[in-house]
Amino acid sequence: MQPIKLDASTTSDIICEDCASAIFIEAYLIKKASKLLTGADKDKIIPIPIMRCADCGHVNEIFKPKTL
C-alpha cells in the first residue's frame, strides 16, 4: 500500500468549537478498569489520547472517543 501524498494547501483547519483557536495539544483521558472485570490482580489504568484546545482547554466532539 502506497502512502497518500497530501499538499497542506488542500487541507482545512480544525478549529476549537468554543474559542475558534486552531492550536491543539495532546492530552489524555484516564480510565480505570476494575480487576473484577479484567481478571487481573490489580485495576488497570487506561490512558486514552485526545486533543484539546491549547487556548481554552476544550475538547472538540471530533476528538472525543466514541465510547464516552
Position 51 in a domain: yes
**Structural domains counted in the chain:** 1
Q: Which residue range forms the structural domain that includes residue 47?
A: 27-68
Q: What is the pLDDT of residue 68?
A: 52
| pLDDT tens string 40-56 | 999 999 999 999 999 99
Q: What is the pTM of this model?
A: 0.74
Residue with cell 472517543: 65
Environment class of 1 (CB within 10 Å of its CB; exposed 0-12, middle 13-18, buried 19+): exposed
Q: Is residue 6 part of a domain?
A: no
Mean pLDDT of all residues belonging to the chain: 93
The angle subtended at Cα 25 by Cα 24 and Cα 30, nearest 5°, is: 125
